[in-house]
Amino acid sequence: MNPSQIIIIDDEVDMCWVLERLLRHRGYDVATAGTGEQGLALLRQPGVGLAIIDCKLPDREGLDIAAEVIALYPTVSLILISGFPFAEESALRERLQSLNAQFLAKPFEVTDLTALVEQVMSRRSNDANRADKD
């Protein structure tokens, strides 16, 4: 089965709302969560291919949630987004690299996000096709 669902975890309700509609418009199946714990609950359902996680969540650090996702569901891809001015910090860069996660700073160009999402999801579907052939 092709895990095609995208989970968005952000406490900004409007951000969830816009991203959900943008990605739906592109044909993706999207669910949203306002806290890290709610997000992890959504990830327990099968079929999640990508999680878009805000770095600052009201209950947990987005990066800690990301690390937990990778540990529990190694096949799920990750994109972290943040309004924080620390994208240049080497510690963050290293952390993102170790999680094999992409990063986008707010405000971002939607085309940059959709390009990243498409790249991730098509790789997944290629992998899935290859897996089907094997």
Q: Which residues would be at the binding site for other proteins (CB under 8 A)?
A: 12, 14-15, 17-19, 21-22, 25, 56, 58-60, 81-86, 105-111, 113
Token representation of residue 93: 């860069």
Task: Give the shortest CB-108-to-other proteins separation in angstroms.
Answer: 7
Smallest gap, in angstroms, from Cβ of residue 8 to other proteins?
A: 11
Q: Which is nearer to other proteins, 86 or 131 (CB)?
A: 86
* Shortest separation between residue 54's beta carbon and other proteins, angstroms: 9
- Give CA–CA dist 107/128, Å, rounded: 32
CB nearer to other proteins: pick between 3 and 51: 51
Return d(Cα 16, Cα 11) in angstroms, integer: 8
CB of 3 to other proteins, least distance (A): 24
CA 77, 82, 87: angle at the middle one, nearest 5?
95
User: Among residues 10 and 101, whose Cβ is nearest to other proteins?
Assistant: 10
Residues 6+ apart with CB under 8 A from 134: none
**DSSP-H helix ranges across 4-107:** 13-25, 36-43, 62-72, 90-98
Least Cα distance to 124 among 21, 41, 48 occurs for 48
Pick between residue 25 and residue 130 the one whose CB is nearest to other proteins: 25
